[in-house]
């Protein structure tokens, strides 16, 4: 079930319209590659609760109106006719249903006469996947949710309904819609905290060992944060809109909970912006580290080359074949007694002189012990700061 986020072949395209371009607006064209449709209904009041799978949409008519809250949960969007049938039963607008099967909507709240149509995007269950669209219709006595596939983050809500925990069984449809949105938003936190930890790791490595894969790691996190921002910014607006607008479907009590939810979305956006800023900073650190690395390589090359080149020249000089016997001016050093020793001493002197010069310019410090120095200096600074 796990997918690598780097294999572009298997990657789900980030945006795709499933309705054929040019179809009349409001026509339902389901994606043949979508998951098969299954339905589950929970209907409850303060006293009683039924929970059952539904085979055909028309079975709903038997339950409708008998419980204060009816939650129809549709997973998988392949069966357009069933979705259309649900639309007829609950009187959902055709444009809204078109948005349900076009699973790349931005989060939003639209008013349609009898009901609110809320689009949210669920955090991916597995890192590296795209966000999943959750469409919620909030009516006076029903909540209909559509999700792309089975498996979601709403199990805690269902458990609370089953166990009659908290006030959920005693509240209306608006509270259920709030609880669903709250569960969706809550599911973002561990994901984003994971990015934070990954950024910490990258930070530790960026200076010590600026390897090539760090570049990709930073870029990947940036891309994922971008994806989550795209899901979260409009959700914040949508929740704020739901909280403020005058609608009989949303009670005053629920508005306080929605304000709290709105705070949570702002908190997530805050985290995302922070991590985005940090990832940009890390990119700078990485690029600089690579530059530093290059600097050290160049230094080493320069030290060794410039130390040996004059020596090699000297050696070459005394390798010339001028005939010492023809003229006393022709390389008399070659015939001196200590000529070779003098030559060696000269070479040693040149080499040491150069090394001393480099040492004075502080090249060695940086090259070999920069990291440890840096850490030590930092620790010192930290201890001196009050």
* Binding to a second copy in span 16-55, by CB under 8 A: 16-17, 21-27
Instruction: Examine residue 174 and tell whether it contacts a second copy (CB under 8 A).
Output: no
For a second copy (CB under 8 A), the number of binding residues is 153
CB burial of residue 258 (10 Å; 0-12, 13-18, 19+) = buried
What is the spatial order of strands in the sheet that 115-122 belongs to? 49-54, 38-44, 69-75, 142-147, 132-138, 115-122, 108-112
Tell me the helix, strand and coil percentages in the chain, rounded to 5. Answer: 55, 10, 30
Residues 274-303 touching a second copy, rule: CB under 8 A, are 274, 277-278, 281-295, 297-302
Span of 32-40, 44-52, 57-65, 216-224 interacting with a second copy by CB under 8 A? 216-224
Q: How far is the CB of 247 from a second copy (least distance, A)?
A: 16
Distance (Å, whole) CA 217 – CA 240: 34
Q: Which of 12, 170, 245, 256 binds a second copy (CB under 8 A)?
A: 256
Instruction: Examine residue 271 and tell whether it contacts a second copy (CB under 8 A).
Output: yes
Is the separation of the CB atoms in 178 and 254 below 8 Å?
A: yes
**Residue span 218-247 as binding mask against a second copy, x where in contact by CB under 8 A, dash where not:** -x--xx--x---x-----------------
Provide the Cα torsion 125, 237, 182, 124; round to 10°: 0
Instruction: Examine residue 360 and tell whether it contacts a second copy (CB under 8 A).
Output: no
Q: Which of 56, 61, 320, 360 binds a second copy (CB under 8 A)?
A: 320
Distance (Å, whole) CA 229 – CA 188: 11
β 132-138/115-122 pair status: antiparallel
Q: How far is the CB of 90 from a second copy (least distance, A)?
A: 18
Distance (Å, whole) CA 105 – CA 182: 19
Q: What contacts 24+ positions apart, CB below 8 Å, involve 344-352?
A: 346/314, 347/311, 347/314, 347/315, 350/310, 350/311, 350/314, 351/307, 351/308, 351/311
Instruction: Examine residue 252 and tell whether it contacts a second copy (CB under 8 A).
Output: no
Q: How far is the CB of 140 from a second copy (least distance, A)?
A: 20
Instruction: Examine residue 355 and tell whether it contacts a second copy (CB under 8 A).
Output: no
Q: Which is nearer to a second copy, 63 or 106 (CB)?
A: 106
Q: How far is the CB of 41 from a second copy (least distance, A)?
A: 21
Instruction: Examine residue 66 and tell whether it contacts a second copy (CB under 8 A).
Output: no
Look at residues 197, 340, 183, 173 and name the one whose alpha carbon lies nearest to residue 250: 173
Residues 333-352 touching a second copy, rule: CB under 8 A, are 333-341, 343
Q: Which is nearer to a second copy, 24 or 33 (CB)?
A: 24
Q: Which is nearer to a second copy, 88 or 155 (CB)?
A: 155
Look at residues 39, 85, 92 and name the one whose alpha carbon lies nearest to residue 58: 85
Cα radius of gyration rounded to whole Å, the chain = 35
Residue listed under structure tokens 């409001």: 26
Residues 106-165 touching a second copy, rule: CB under 8 A, are 106, 108, 110, 112, 126-128, 153, 155-157, 159-160, 165
Q: Which is nearer to a second copy, 64 or 290 (CB)?
A: 290
Instruction: Examine residue 212 and tell whether it contacts a second copy (CB under 8 A).
Output: yes
């Amino acid at each position: 079930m796990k997918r690598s986020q780097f294999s572009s072949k298997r990657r789900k395209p980030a945006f795709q319209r499933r309705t054929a371009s040019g179809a009349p607006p409001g026509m339902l064209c389901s994606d043949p590659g979508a998951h098969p449709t299954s339905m589950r209904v929970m209907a409850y009041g303060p006293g009683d609760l039924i929970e059952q799978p539904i085979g055909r949409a028309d079975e709903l008519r038997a339950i409708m109106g008998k419980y204060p809250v009816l939650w129809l949960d549709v997973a998988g969007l392949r069966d357009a006719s069933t979705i259309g049938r649900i639309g007829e039963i609950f009187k959902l607008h055709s444009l809204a249903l078109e948005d349900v099967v076009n699973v790349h909507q931005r989060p939003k709240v639209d008013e349609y006469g009898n009901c609110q149509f809320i689009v949210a995007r669920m955090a991916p269950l597995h890192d590296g996947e795209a966000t999943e669209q959750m469409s919620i219709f909030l009516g006076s006595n029903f909540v209909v949710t559509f999700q792309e596939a089975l498996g979601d983050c709403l199990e805690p809500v269902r458990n609370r309904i089953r166990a009659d925990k908290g006030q959920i069984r005693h509240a209306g449809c608006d509270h259920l819609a709030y609880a669903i949105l709250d569960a969706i938003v809550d599911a973002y936190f561990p994901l984003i905290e994971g990015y934070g930890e990954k950024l910490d790791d990258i930070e530790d490595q960026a200076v010590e060992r600026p390897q090539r894969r760090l570049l990709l790691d930073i870029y990947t996190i940036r891309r994922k944060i971008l994806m989550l921002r795209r899901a979260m910014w409009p959700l914040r607006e949508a929740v704020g809109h739901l909280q403020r607008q005058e609608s009989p479907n949303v009670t005053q009590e629920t508005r306080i909970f929605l304000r709290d939810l709105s705070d949570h979305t702002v908190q997530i956006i805050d985290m995302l912006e922070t991590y985005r800023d940090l990832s940009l900073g890390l990119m700078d650190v990485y690029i600089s580290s690579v530059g530093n690395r290059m600097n050290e390589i160049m230094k080493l090359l320069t030290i060794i080359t410039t130390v040996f080149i004059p020596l090699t020249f000297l050696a070459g000089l005394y390798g010339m074949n001028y005939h010492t016997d023809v003229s006393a001016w022709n390389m008399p050093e070659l015939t001196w007694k200590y000529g070779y020793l003098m030559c060696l001493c000269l070479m040693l002197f040149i080499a040491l002189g150069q090394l001393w010069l480099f040492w004075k310019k502080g090249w060695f410090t940086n090259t070999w012990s920069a990291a440890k120095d840096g850490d030590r200096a930092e620790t010192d600074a930290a201890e001196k700061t009050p």
